[in-house]
Amino acid sequence: MRNHFYTLLCLALLICAAPAWGQKRAKKNKKKKDTVETPAAPSFNAKMYKNLKWRNIGPFRGGRANAVAGVLGSPNLYYVGYTGGGVWKTQDGGLHWKNISDGSLKSGSVGDIAVAASDPNVIYVGMGEDAVRGVMTTYGDGV
């Protein structure tokens, strides 16, 4: 009987101490994980950029950009859709932009763009703003 008492006492102590031991271990692992995954901050050399001037490279009309799509395998080819400016295309990584939707879409407000995986010349354009608001909003007219 006495052996069972000591066995139950030891078991009860282990059960009571287990949650506290697990919390300490979790905190220790969390600290270790945080220190391992934190990357070093990149250095910034202001002297390298002191002669640069900001400039707008376009597109020069449009509105808010709601949609952006790139083409897999073509790192400089992008399409951008604006709330009031249609669809624009760049083939040189954004240095020059060309409007490709004027005259082909019923409305000018673009909500989404997707490029077909089978043919990068096929793009799907969802018309209308993605976040419909009460002021100056276009609901769109389809795809």
**Residues of the chain under the 70 pLDDT cut:** 1-39, 58, 60-63, 130-140
pLDDT of residue 52: 86
pLDDT of residue 70: 93
Output the pTM of the full model: 0.56
pLDDT of residue 90: 92
pLDDT of residue 88: 92
Largest Cα–Cα distance in the chain?
Answer: 95
CA atoms within 13 A on the CB side of 85: 19
pLDDT of residue 134: 57
> Phi and psi (nearest 5°) for 5?
-60, -50
pLDDT of residue 113: 93
